Amino acid sequence: MDRPFSQACLNNRDPILNILKRVLQDCNTVLEIGSGTGQHAVWFGRHLPHLEWCTSDRIENHEGIKKWLEQEQIHNVHAPIALDVAKNSWPKATFDAIFSANTAHIMAWPEVEVFVTKAACTLPSGGSFCLYGPFDFKGREMAPSNKAFDAELKYRGAHQGIRKFEAINDLARKNNLIFSENNDLPANNHLLIWRKKQTKITLA
């Protein structure tokens, strides 16, 4: 099997990396949800050598991810964990940050709800949740290319579609994830960052 390739990953890896260098500078461990081809993992792992980058995806995508890992030999990028966000297969370990790219719009909304809830549970206090992709913002006209992409997604499956930022943010807030920043990136995409609410310790 030839290793899988995504032109989108090649196009967006550097703009995303420029943000992650800052956001993840004090982190040690990252869980990537939906590693896809594995291209992001090897690129970010190579350029963020202080991180232990843990890949994950549905089992049917593991072979392609492993191809990239085997050929690139990045010491700090780890073999994929079998993870389907809608099932009870999340790792029990905590991670300093969670990163996911182009996943929310291909999930059904109930899966997005599980995704955000489980992600929050997997982060420690102060941990970062980093979500990349196209989003629909209230009061902002959606770009024509995103409108076309949204229509294409819904044609493929009624459960898919570009997600409203406000809906995801409401869900995040209910799970103690505080919105931190919106980074506008090329091709009408965004890298959204939430931080898990710090737990206050009350001394007796």
Listed by start position, the domains of the chain span: 7-196
Tokens of 100: 């996911």
Q: What is the DSSP string of 7-18?
A: HHHHHHHHHHHH
Q: What is the pLDDT of residue 87?
A: 83
Instruction: Give, for 23, the enclosing helix (H) or strand (E).
Output: helix 7-23
Within 10 A of 185 (CB to CB), how many other CB atoms are there? 18
pLDDT beyond 50 at 40: yes
Give the rounded distance of the alpha carbon of 160 from its chain centre: 17
| pTM for this entry | 0.95
pLDDT beyond 90 at 203: no
Give the orientation angle of helix 39-47 with respect to helix 62-72, to 10 degrees: 30
Q: Average pLDDT of 22-31?
A: 98
Q: Which of 167, 42, 149 is nearest to 106 (CA)?
A: 149
pLDDT beyond 90 at 199: no
pLDDT beyond 50 at 140: yes
The CATH number of domain 7-196, selected from 3.30.43.10, 1.20.900.10, 3.40.50.150, 3.30.1540.10: 3.40.50.150
Instruction: Please list the residues that pair with 57 across neighbouring strands.
Output: 82
Q: Is 46 helix (H, G, I), strand (E, B) or coil?
A: helix
Burial of 172 (0-12, 13-18, 19+ CB in 10 A): buried
Average pLDDT across the chain, whole number: 95
pLDDT beyond 90 at 38: yes
More confident residue, 16 or 202: 16
Segment 81-93, tens digit of pLDDT: 999 998 877 898 9
Q: What is the pLDDT of residue 198?
A: 81
Q: What is the pLDDT of residue 175?
A: 97
Give the rounded distance of the alpha carbon of 21 from its chain centre: 15
Amino acid at residue number 117 = T
Q: Average pLDDT of 104-115?
A: 97
Segment 173-198, tens digit of pLDDT: 999 999 999 999 999 999 999 999 98
Q: What is the pLDDT of residue 204?
A: 47
Instruction: Give, for 70, the enclosing helix (H) or strand (E).
Output: helix 62-72
Q: Average pLDDT of 20-42?
A: 98
Q: What is the pLDDT of residue 200?
A: 60
